[in-house]
């Protein structure tokens, strides 16, 4: 998860970022990992924040992160249902939760896309992947598949995703250009990218946000557009989040 918090690191940091699939091709519905595809071939991008995801890579206790990510004091968790409603998912859609973390959105996504849809829960942390698999089996989420990713690639098949969802995780992208480019490849033509992250405003945002979050919304928009996306919603009409913004993009085509 690569990330989240109020304590927010996401979950969806969540996860520190990337997506280096586990090279397995299990059948959907087992909550298992799906096979990786496109690999980064260009010279590796320079890290924008070395070590940002070390706490996830070296975690020993998933339950500690469950308590941090899934508490009513955390805005994203408290408003999770309204967030999912905002996405406007349709039955049969495929959504990728990038930096899924503890998987707090997976049950809601599973219900929204229905049995004909698919949920890719993507994370860089093996223990988060294991936790999501266990939760998927427990709740019978047959349309949820996990993907263990790389730090610079989500490792999803090209043109396979209708909606890519990044919640409190973009600031955990150590290689934002490469990771965002891999999301662009994974989206179908016309597919959507939804980014939720912290408002970072000098003199206004909490010290934790100023110290932890790399950059503000305007810079995030510029970085994502530079990877071939079109901005479709600048988040100005979102009124139910106080510390986070929601912005949406489209892959042309």
Number of domains in the chain: 1
pTM for this predicted structure:
0.84
State both tokens at 23.
């090279």
CA–CA gap between residue 206 and residue 211 (Å, rounded): 9
CATH code where residue 22 lies: 3.40.50.150
Output the CA torsion sign for 197, 38, 54, 95. Answer: positive
Strands 2-5 and 8-14, how do they pair?
antiparallel
Q: What is the pLDDT of residue 42?
A: 60
On the CB side of 131, CA atoms within 13 Å amount to 23
C-alpha distances in Å from residue 221, one per residue of 145, 180, 198, 225, 228: 29, 12, 13, 6, 11
- Tracing tokens 């304590």 back to the chain, one arrives at 7
- Domain range for residue 175? 2-250
- pLDDT tens profile 161-173: 999 999 999 999 9
CA–CA gap between residue 97 and residue 88 (Å, rounded): 15
Contact, 120 vs 34, CB < 8 A?
yes
Cα-to-chain-centroid distance, residue 53: 14
- pLDDT tens profile 106-121: 999 999 999 999 999 9
Angle between helices 176-186 and 217-225 (to 10 degrees): 60
Beta bridge partners of 248: 194, 233
Question: What is the chain's pLDDT, residue by residue, as a tens digit (253 residues)?
Answer: 444 333 333 333 333 333 333 333 343 344 444 444 444 456 789 999 998 998 888 888 999 999 999 999 999 999 999 999 999 999 999 999 999 999 999 999 999 999 999 999 999 999 999 999 999 999 999 999 999 999 999 999 999 999 999 999 999 999 999 999 999 999 999 999 999 999 999 999 999 999 999 999 999 999 999 999 999 999 988 889 999 999 999 999 8
């Amino acid at each position: 998860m690569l990330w989240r918090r109020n304590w927010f690191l996401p979950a969806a940091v969540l996860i520190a970022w990337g997506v280096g699939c586990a090279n397995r091709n299990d059948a959907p519905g087992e909550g298992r990992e799906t096979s990786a595809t496109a690999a980064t071939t260009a010279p590796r991008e320079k890290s924008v924040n070395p070590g940002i995801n070390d706490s996830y890579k070296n975690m020993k206790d998933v339950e500690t992160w469950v308590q941090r990510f899934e508490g009513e004091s955390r805005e994203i968790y408290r408003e999770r249902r309204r967030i999912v409603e905002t996405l406007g998912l349709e039955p049969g859609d495929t959504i990728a939760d990038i930096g899924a973390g503890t998987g707090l959105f997976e049950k809601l996504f599973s219900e929204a896309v229905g049995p004909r849809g698919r949920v890719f829960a993507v994370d860089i942390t093996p223990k988060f992947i294991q936790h999501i698999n266990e939760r998927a089996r427990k709740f019978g989420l047959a349309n949820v598949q996990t993907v263990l990713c790389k730090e610079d690639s989500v490792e999803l098949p090209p043109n396979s995703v209708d909606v890519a969802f990044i919640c409190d995780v973009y600031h955990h992208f150590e290689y934002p250009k490469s990771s965002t480019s891999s999301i662009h490849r994974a989206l179908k033509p016309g597919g959507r990218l939804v980014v939720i992250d912290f408002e970072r405003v000098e003199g206004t945002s909490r010290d934790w946000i100023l110290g932890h979050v790399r950059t503000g919304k305007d810079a995030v928009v510029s970085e994502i557009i530079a990877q071939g996306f079109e901005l479709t919603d600048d988040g100005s009409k979102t009124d139910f989040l106080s510390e986070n913004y929601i912005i949406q993009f489209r892959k042309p085509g």
